[in-house]
């Protein structure tokens, strides 16, 4: 596939009404919920990934059309194409494009399936000065957009896996007082990743912050610890 129109036509032809209703409920699209107004075709992620394989060479001008679609799965397709292109090229143009359009990743799955594979990898790119990385991450963390805020936390996964814990510490601490449950889950998830990489680092973070952490974040963070240790942290 060489155009966004081809991708859209194919995906719209795959509409599944039963799955459409299920996804709308799962991603909280009701009035006042975090995904309010989002529209689903009812396409499962493996199906979307199969389309990405056929469309991964689309130019950014065509990807731009996909990520501005009103359909959730078509936006996801666009972001997954960016992931594939960045994995192959490590193009800084793709990172700039991703950041300019970050708010189009307007649900947790769109963030989680793309940010650490693009922005997280970029954080380890030696071509980019640390000052520039800090400016970008600070802007995301201080954003008024929940999804950009989540990006600032989940992007730390790739550095964590490479032994760089500075981002999860800085942006994890900034997220401690966030009011939204989706940020609590993101924080706990990244802390769990931290513990998998270096349990001593997780213990150090918990020792400083466990009494102020949201319980959801704490439960996620200690999930891979032995049962007795989990009980001890929850009592604190």
pLDDT tens column, 50-62: 999 999 999 999 9
Query: Would the pLDDT of 109 be above 80?
Result: yes
pLDDT band of 132, cuts 50, 70, 90: very high
Q: Which residues contact 28 (CB under 8 A, 6 or more apart)?
A: 34, 35, 36
pLDDT by residue (tens digit) across 217-228?
999 999 999 999
pLDDT band of 177, cuts 50, 70, 90: very high
Residue ranges in 90-155 assigned as alpha helix (H): 92-100, 108-112, 115-122, 130-141, 146-154
Q: Which of 22-31, 61-70, 202-211 has the lowest mean pLDDT?
A: 22-31
Spatial contact of 178 and 149, defined as CB atoms under 8 Å apart: yes
């Amino acid at each position: 596939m060489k155009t966004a129109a081809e991708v859209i036509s194919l995906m719209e032809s795959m509409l599944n009404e039963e799955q459409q209703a299920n996804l709308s409920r799962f991603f909280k699209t009701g009035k006042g919920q975090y995904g309010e107004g989002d529209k689903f075709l009812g396409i499962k992620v493996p199906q979307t990934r199969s389309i990405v394989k056929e469309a991964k060479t689309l130019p950014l001008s065509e990807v731009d059309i996909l990520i501005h679609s009103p359909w959730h799965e078509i936006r996801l397709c666009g972001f997954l194409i960016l992931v594939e292109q960045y994995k192959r090229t490590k193009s800084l143009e793709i990172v700039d494009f991703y950041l300019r359009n970050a708010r189009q990743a307007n649900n947790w799955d769109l963030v989680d399936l793309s940010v650490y594979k693009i922005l997280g990898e970029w954080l380890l790119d030696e071509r980019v000065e640390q000052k520039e990385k800090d400016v970008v991450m600070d802007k995301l963390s201080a954003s008024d957009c929940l999804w950009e805020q989540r990006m600032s936390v989940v992007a730390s996964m790739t550095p964590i896996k490479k032994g760089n814990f500075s981002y999860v510490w800085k942006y994890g601490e900034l997220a401690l007082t966030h009011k939204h449950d989706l940020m609590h889950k993101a924080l706990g998830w990244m802390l769990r990743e931290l513990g998998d990489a270096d349990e001593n680092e997780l213990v150090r973070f918990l020792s400083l912050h466990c009494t102020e952490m949201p319980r959801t974040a704490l439960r996620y963070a200690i999930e891979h610890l032995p049962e007795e240790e989990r009980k001890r942290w929850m009592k604190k």
